[in-house]
């Protein structure tokens, strides 16, 4: 076989392989198969097709001319001038080229005047349609799943979805393993457990923007039942387990004495004055944090209004699952 | 008409050639450096923390783009202008003291301005507009330099003995006019020092346009700066050097003619493809896409004319590295002028824009088309400058293959990186959430950034071989005038 | 005809010029006035924010970061509402960028905060493992050029009628009130003199360093100096 064809084949195959490979990487470990990537998004399909066309057309056309270099001979009538001995033939323009040039011009004129005249397309209109289609699809999928799933499957589904949100939205601050990256933000593997509450009582809490303001550190927390003596290590230990246990078991007396002035006897935050500790460590509490943002001792987290309700609930489920 | 051959004066052409090679090495070295920095960010402090302000990616990137485009490419274009201009117009610079004066001024003011630009970019003095980063004092300097070139064109053309203008001259003239217009309008800016009564940095200015308008003007400029710095003058170059080196007549005058006027007309309308899906009006975007598709044909017209000029001359392609450079250059020109329009289709641009696929496209053109054509031109000119044969043909051949491999690595890696990243950004997972966080789409590119850096390094190595070859040519075997008709003489 | 042109350089040049000149007019002029109009709720930059914007430009952050959210669900999910033309009305120059080596920053003020930037700009990979963004440590030392920012404010206020209000004009009819989304109006204060401008910038800087940890930076601000990092954070926070 002529070497030039071989080169053409090599280049075409190389670029096909390379392009196929981009699909493989894109799928990554998201569990999609390749046809799904192309069928799920028309833009992907068009891009891949266009990329193929680019390689094939260039290779094909260049080979055509290289063949002419190899087998044809140059001739024609020369023009009268020559510049520094460079001559010019009066050859006609290549027909294919001329026809396509003309065709593209006609097409362009058609496009502007008849096909899609000036204001007939709106990219925002297209966005609204696309977004609606995607949203509807996911809402429906979600509703279907919630119908057919058992409780257990539902929880698992939410946790997985939450993990996905966490990995794209939260991990820049909380780290891949949610450990808070050396204290740069909250360690969510601990958060929600008794240990984290011990920390909170020792150091206080701030930044959720409750009417009650900040929670003082341990020096500011007195036990009313003990004549307003500062809270002790033992009491902290007990009350923390109590709260982490969903306000059950030993410790209700310490809570009543030290915490209820702000969080209410039932721990529910006295109608929005302070956080509802009955939901501490659960998805609801996380949703509350995401709605408010959190300005902490080691940094601050913005409110996440751009997540929708399902996503917030899901990420809450995921975080709860980290400690449980 | 004079009957004995004219004694052309190549002094200015030589100065520009030396500058081109020198700045080429520097600019491409910086390109290689930033390519490695993207793969290994530790290199941002390769001269230590203390100098990181001047050695980090973001300061160096502009230095790379401006030095290769306005240093390497423009110097080369001017070097060929002072060579080709004399020859196809049949006048010698030596015939006019004024023209020589203009030439010297042109070079030295340009040289001085380049030095100021390098320093100021390193200091972080930039207006942020891509390829037009310079503040107003430099804009003025650039205007002077440009006018000097204009004077040189007007002078040589005015004194010409060849009545009809050759194709190369068309393209040089178009380059001059278009860039003058673009430079002027994109750089309308208000110096703040004077309007505030002398407060702050004296060189600072603020753009005449704001927001969407500024973007529209900038990319009208940016797109056409590409057209009239990285395309038309290079077409001017190949229209002279390919037929000259090969001794073949241009395939078709009509094709030259239609391609030229087609390109002039269509190019200017296509700038909208840089602002697709932005806030510029939809119809302007559509116009950019449509005209980009039409643009394939006048672009390919020139390339096809070049390939057909070599019709039946395969043995020359096979045996001459200079011709190889130009034929592969034309091929890359076809590739990038089809790739560009494809990336200009709105749906494709949705993926391609903002990614490395665009960077790949840029370098298909810059390394394959621009770089190779310039290398060929300088190889052709050097024996004429020094009256000596080119030092080593085998070195040329090696350079050709090393650089070709470099380009292949560059564009395949950027092809993968760009399309992958573009698709990852768009991907939603089965829950309807974004499938990837941004950083996932960065870390996945590491292997391709590395591959690109390797490719770029190969290209640079090839370029250094080129510089060495030209340097050695200044002391290679002497030849006499009659050996210089077409094919350039080369030593083994 | 063409052959005639090729023999008459002046006519040739004129022909070329006419061919290339009018495309720009047709594309740029028709929507020019409309595109220059600010959106309700869009305000010009304060002195410190503008100085931060200069730091952003001088360091070519736009080489890696875009500020243009395209109307795709994947982008609005990631970055927030798609860009609107009027939001950019006070951007001179525009900073859309053309390469997204790092994420879009048009609304980064909505989801990143002062202390996050403080850590991130010092050591990006320490905060986001795998980041390839350079560390910008010198910004914690270099002093911000408030003078040039103020000069630019004065220039745009007089030359382009950008709605800044001199301190002395607050509450008078010379105040340039800007309509907000909720129907109220607001004004953006600009110093009467360079000294005033510096005082305003410093006051703004103090609010920012209150959220910062770096002792040297806090120290500098308490001494009346504004390191570049403070200005660039002010700018980042203003991007919403
Ligand atoms: C038919 C001809 C061409 C068309 C239609 C075209 C089209 C395009 C498009 C659509 C982009 C990407 C814009 C974006 O989404 O960011 C682009 C970028 C670019 N192209 Fe081309 N291209 C063509 C030929 C060339 C050639 C021959 C070169 C020479 C080197 C070149 C150099 C560039 C450069 C430097 C950029 C980057 C601009 C930036 O900084 O964003 N193009 N081109
Ligand atoms: C040794 C060869 C070269 C290497 C390794 C190289 C590398 C690079 C790198 C790493 C970038 C930044 C890409 C990014 O930000 O993602 C870049 C940008 C660029 N380079 Fe090169 N380069 C080389 C030669 C050239 C030459 C010869 C030219 C022009 C004649 C050129 C023109 C450009 C342009 C216009 C851009 C900006 C692209 C854009 O903004 O889209 N480069 N190059
Ligand atoms: Ca300028
Ligand atoms: Ca760019
Ligand atoms: Cu373009």
pLDDT tens for the 492 residues of chain B, in order: 445 567 899 999 999 999 999 999 999 999 999 999 999 999 999 999 999 999 999 999 999 999 999 999 999 999 999 999 999 999 999 999 999 999 999 999 999 999 999 999 999 999 999 999 999 999 999 999 999 999 999 999 999 999 999 999 999 999 999 999 999 999 999 999 999 999 999 999 999 999 999 999 999 999 999 899 999 999 999 999 999 999 999 999 999 999 999 999 999 999 999 999 999 999 999 999 999 999 999 999 999 999 999 999 999 999 999 999 999 999 999 999 999 999 999 999 999 999 999 999 999 999 999 999 999 999 999 999 999 999 999 999 999 999 999 999 999 999 999 999 999 999 988 888 898 999 999 999 999 999 999 999 999 999 999 999 999 999 999 998 888 889 999 988
**pTM of structure:** 0.92
What percent of chain C is predicted at pLDDT more than 70? 100
Q: Quick check: CB of B129 below 6 Å from ligand 1?
A: no
* C20 contact B CB<8A: yes
Triad B458, B343, A120: Cα angle to 5° = 170
Nearest to B327 by CA among B317, B337, B319: B317
Model confidence pLDDT, tens digit, residues B18-61? 999 999 999 999 999 999 999 999 999 999 999 999 999 999 99
Judge: C77–A306 Cβ closer than 8 Å, yes or no.
Answer: yes
A322 CA from centroid of ligand 4 (Å): 43
Q: Is A149 part of a structural domain of the chain?
A: no
Q: Which residues of A touch C77 (CB under 8 A)?
A: 306
Which residues on neighbouring strands pair with residue B370, listed in sequence order?
Answer: none
pLDDT-derived band at C20, boundaries 50, 70, 90:
very high
DSSP characters over B125-148: -----TT----HHHHHHHHHHHHH
- The confidence score (pLDDT) of residue A131 equals 92
B31 CA from centroid of ligand 2 (Å): 6
Q: Give the residue from A39, A56, A71 where a domain finishes.
A: A71
A144-158, B100-114, C23-37, C178-192: segment of lowest average pLDDT:
C23-37
Q: What are phi and psi of B189, to 5 degrees?
A: -150, 155
Alpha helices in chain C (DSSP H): 2-7, 9-28, 32-35, 47-58, 73-79, 114-122, 124-127, 146-159, 194-209, 215-222, 228-238
Q: Is B79 part of a structural domain of the chain?
A: yes
Positive or negative, the CA dihedral B351, B354, B360, B361 is positive
Nearest residue in chain B measured CA to CA from C194: B199
DSSP-based three-state secondary structure for B489: coil
| Residue to probe by mutation, ligand 2, list B25, B31, B76, most atoms within 8 Å of CB | B31
Model confidence pLDDT, tens digit, residues C55-66? 999 999 999 999
- For residue A323, with 0-12 CB atoms within 10 Å meaning exposed, 13-18 middle and 19 or more buried, which class applies? middle
Q: Quick check: CB of B365 below 6 Å from ligand 1?
A: yes
Tokens of C236: 């980042």
- Helix H, strand E, coil C: the string for C40-52 is CCCCCCCHHHHHH
Q: Is A318 part of a structural domain of the chain?
A: yes
DSSP-based three-state secondary structure for A42: helix
Q: Give the residue from A71, A86, A113 where a domain finishes.
A: A71
Count of domains in chain B? Answer: 1
Nearest protein Cα to ligand 2, atom 43: B31
Please tell me the number of Cα atoms within 13 Å of B84 on its side-chain side: 33
- Average pLDDT, rounded, for chain C: 94
A126 CA from centroid of ligand 5 (Å): 24
- The confidence score (pLDDT) of residue C111 equals 86
- The answer to whether residues A51 and A166 belong to one domain is no
In residues, how long is chain B?
492
Q: Residue B312 is nearest to which of A73, A84, A169, comparing CB atoms?
A: A73
Nearest protein Cα to ligand 2, atom 35: B65
What is the rounded distance in angstroms from the CA atom of residue B327 to the CA atom of residue B426?
39
Q: Which atom in ligand 1 lies closest to the alpha carbon of residue B364? A: 30
How far does CA B24 lie from the centroid of its chain? 11
Q: Is B488 part of a structural domain of the chain?
A: no
Nearest to B387 by CA among B266, B296, B236, B488: B488
Domain with A55 in it: 3-71
Average pLDDT over residues A129-155: 91
Nearest protein Cα to ligand 2, atom 36: B65
- The answer to whether residues A295 and A169 belong to one domain is yes
- The answer to whether residues A42 and A190 belong to one domain is no
pLDDT-derived band at A115, boundaries 50, 70, 90:
confident
- The confidence score (pLDDT) of residue B99 equals 95
Q: Is B3 part of a structural domain of the chain?
A: no
| Residue to probe by mutation, ligand 1, list B237, B336, B360, most atoms within 8 Å of CB | B336
Q: Is A139 part of a structural domain of the chain?
A: no
Ligand nearest to the CA of B132: 3
Nearest protein Cα to ligand 1, atom 17: B340
Judge: A127–C116 Cβ closer than 8 Å, yes or no.
Answer: no
Q: How far is A181 from chain B (nearest CA, A)?
A: 16
Residue range C47-238 forms a domain whose CATH class is mainly alpha
Q: Which residues of A touch B241 (CB under 8 A)?
A: none
- For residue B485, with 0-12 CB atoms within 10 Å meaning exposed, 13-18 middle and 19 or more buried, which class applies? exposed
Q: Which atom in ligand 1 lies closest to the alpha carbon of residue B295? A: 1
CATH code of residue B290: 1.20.210.10
- The confidence score (pLDDT) of residue A39 equals 81
- The confidence score (pLDDT) of residue B2 equals 46
- The confidence score (pLDDT) of residue C9 equals 95
Q: Is B1 part of a structural domain of the chain?
A: no
Judge: B213–C32 Cβ closer than 8 Å, yes or no.
Answer: yes
Model confidence pLDDT, tens digit, residues C81-102? 999 999 999 999 999 999 999 9
- The confidence score (pLDDT) of residue A112 equals 87
Contact between residue C63 and residue B58 where contact means Cβ atoms under 8 Å apart: yes
Tokens of B331: 């091929």
Count of domains in chain A? Answer: 2
């Amino acid at each position: 076989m002529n070497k030039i064809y071989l080169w053409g084949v090599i280049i075409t195959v190389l670029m096909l392989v390379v392009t196929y490979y981009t699909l493989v990487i894109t799928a990554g470990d998201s569990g999609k198969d390749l046809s799904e990537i192309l069928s799920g998004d028309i833009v992907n399909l068009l891009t891949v097709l266009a990329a193929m066309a680019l390689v094939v057309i260039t290779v094909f056309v260049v080979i055509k001319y290289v063949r002419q270099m190899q087998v044809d001979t140059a001739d024609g009538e020369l023009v009268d001038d020559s510049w520094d001995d460079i001559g010019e033939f009066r050859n006609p323009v290549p027909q294919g080229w001329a026809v396509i040039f003309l065709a593209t011009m006609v097409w362009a004129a058609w496009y502007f005047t008849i096909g899609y005249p000036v204001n007939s397309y709106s990219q925002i209109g297209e966005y609204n349609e696309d977004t609606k289609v995607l949203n509807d699809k996911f809402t429906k999928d979600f509703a279907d799943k919630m119908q057919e799933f058992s409780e257990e499957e539902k929880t698992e589904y939410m946790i997985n979805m939450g993990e996905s949100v966490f990995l794209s939205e939260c991990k820049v601050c909380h780290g891949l393993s949610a450990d808070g990256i050396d204290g740069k933000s909250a360690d969510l593997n601990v958060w929600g457990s008794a240990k984290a509450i011990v920390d909170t009582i020792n150091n206080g809490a701030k930044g959720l923007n409750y009417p009650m303001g900040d929670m003082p550190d341990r020096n500011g927390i007195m036990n009313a039942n003990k004549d307003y003596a500062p809270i002790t290590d033992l009491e902290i230990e007990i009350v923390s387990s109590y709260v982490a246990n969903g306000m059950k078991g030993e410790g209700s007396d310490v809570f009543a004495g030290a915490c209820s002035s702000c969080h209410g006897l039932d721990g529910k935050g006295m109608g929005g004055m302070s956080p509802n500790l009955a939901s501490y460590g659960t998805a609801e509490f996380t949703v509350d944090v995401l709605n408010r943002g959190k300005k902490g001792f080691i940094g601050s987290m913005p409110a996440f209004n751009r997540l929708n309700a399902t996503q917030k609930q899901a990420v809450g489920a995921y975080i709860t699952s980290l400690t449980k | 008409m004079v009957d004995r051959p004219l004694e052309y004066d190549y002094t200015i052409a030589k100065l520009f050639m030396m500058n081109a090679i020198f700045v080429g090495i520097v600019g491409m070295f910086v390109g290689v450096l930033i390519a490695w920095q993207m793969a290994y960010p530790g290199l941002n402090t390769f001269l230590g923390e203390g100098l990181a302000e001047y050695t980090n990616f973001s300061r160096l990137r502009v230095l790379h783009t401006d030095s290769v485009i306005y240093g390497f490419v423009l110097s080369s274009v001017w070097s060929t202008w002072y060579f080709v201009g004399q020859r196809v117009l049949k006048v010698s610079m030596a015939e006019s003291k004024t023209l020589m004066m203009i030439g010297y001024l042109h070079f030295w003011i340009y040289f001085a301005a380049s030095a100021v630009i390098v320093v100021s970019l390193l200091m972080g003095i930039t207006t942020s507009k891509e390829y037009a980063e310079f503040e107003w004092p430099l804009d003025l300097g650039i205007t002077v330099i440009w006018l000097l070139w204009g004077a040189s064109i007007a002078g040589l053309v005015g004194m010409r003995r060849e009545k009809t203008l050759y194709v190369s001259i068309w393209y040089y003239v178009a380059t001059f006019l278009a860039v003058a217009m673009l430079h002027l309008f994109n750089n309308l800016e208000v110096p703040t020092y004077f309007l505030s009564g002398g407060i702050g940095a004296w060189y600072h200015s603020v753009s005449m346009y704001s927001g969407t308008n500024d973007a529209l003007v900038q990319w009208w400029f940016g797109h056409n700066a590409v057209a009239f710095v990285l395309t038309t003058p290079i077409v001017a170059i190949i229209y002279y050097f390919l037929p000259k080196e090969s001794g073949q007549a241009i395939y078709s005058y009509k094709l030259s003619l239609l391609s030229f006027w087609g390109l002039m007309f269509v190019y200017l309308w296509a700038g909208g493809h840089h602002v697709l899906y932005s806030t510029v009006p939809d119809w302007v975007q559509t116009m950019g896409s449509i005209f980009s598709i039409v643009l394939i044909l006048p672009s390919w017209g020139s390339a096809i004319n070049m390939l057909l000029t070599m019709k039946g001359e395969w043995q020359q392609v096979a045996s001459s590295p200079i011709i190889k450079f130009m034929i592969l250059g034309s091929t890359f020109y076809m590739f990038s002028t089809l790739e560009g329009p494809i990336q200009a289709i709105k749906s494709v641009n949705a993926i391609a824009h903002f990614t490395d696929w665009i960077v790949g496209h840029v370098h298909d053109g810059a390394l394959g088309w621009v770089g190779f054509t310039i290398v060929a031109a300088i190889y052709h000119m050097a024996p004429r400058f020094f009256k000596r044969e080119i030092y080593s043909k085998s070195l040329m051949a090696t350079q050709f293959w090393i650089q070709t491999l470099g380009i292949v690595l560059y564009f395949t890696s950027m092809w993968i990186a760009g399309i992958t990243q573009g698709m990852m950004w768009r991907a939603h997972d089965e829950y309807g959430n974004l499938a990837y966080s941004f950083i996932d789409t960065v870390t996945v590119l590491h292997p391709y950034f590395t591959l690109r850096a390797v490719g770029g390094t190969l290209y640079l190595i090839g370029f250094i071989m080129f510089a060495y070859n030209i340097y050695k040519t200044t002391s290679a075997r002497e030849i006499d005038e009659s050996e210089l008709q077409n094919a350039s003489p080369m030593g083994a | 005809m063409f052959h005639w042109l090729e023999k008459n350089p002046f006519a040739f040049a004129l022909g070329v010029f006419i061919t290339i000149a009018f495309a720009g007019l047709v594309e740029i002029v028709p929507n020019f006035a409309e595109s220059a109009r600010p959106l309700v709720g869009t305000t010009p930059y304060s002195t410190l924010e503008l100085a931060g914007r200069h730091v952003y430009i001088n360091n070519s952050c736009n080489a890696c970061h875009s500020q243009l959210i395209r109307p795709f669900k994947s982008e609005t999910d990631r970055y927030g509402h798609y860009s609107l033309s009027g939001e950019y009305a006070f951007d001179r120059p525009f900073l859309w960028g053309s390469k997204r080596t790092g994420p879009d920053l048009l609304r980064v003020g909505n989801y990143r905060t002062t202390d996050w930037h403080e850590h991130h700009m010092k050591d990006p990979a320490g905060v986001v493992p795998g980041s390839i963004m350079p560390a910008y440590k010198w910004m914690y030392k270099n002093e911000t050029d408030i003078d040039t920012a103020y000069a630019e404010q004065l220039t745009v206020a007089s030359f382009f009628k950008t709605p800044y209000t001199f301190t002395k004009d607050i509450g008078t009819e010379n105040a340039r009130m800007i309509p907000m989304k909720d129907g109220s109006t607001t004004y953006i204060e600009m110093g009467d003199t360079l000294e005033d401008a510096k005082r305003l910038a410093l006051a703004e800087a103090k609010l920012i360093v209150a959220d910062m940890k770096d002792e040297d930076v806090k120290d500098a601000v308490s001494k009346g100096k504004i390191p570049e990092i403070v200005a660039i954070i002010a700018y980042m926070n203003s991007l919403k």
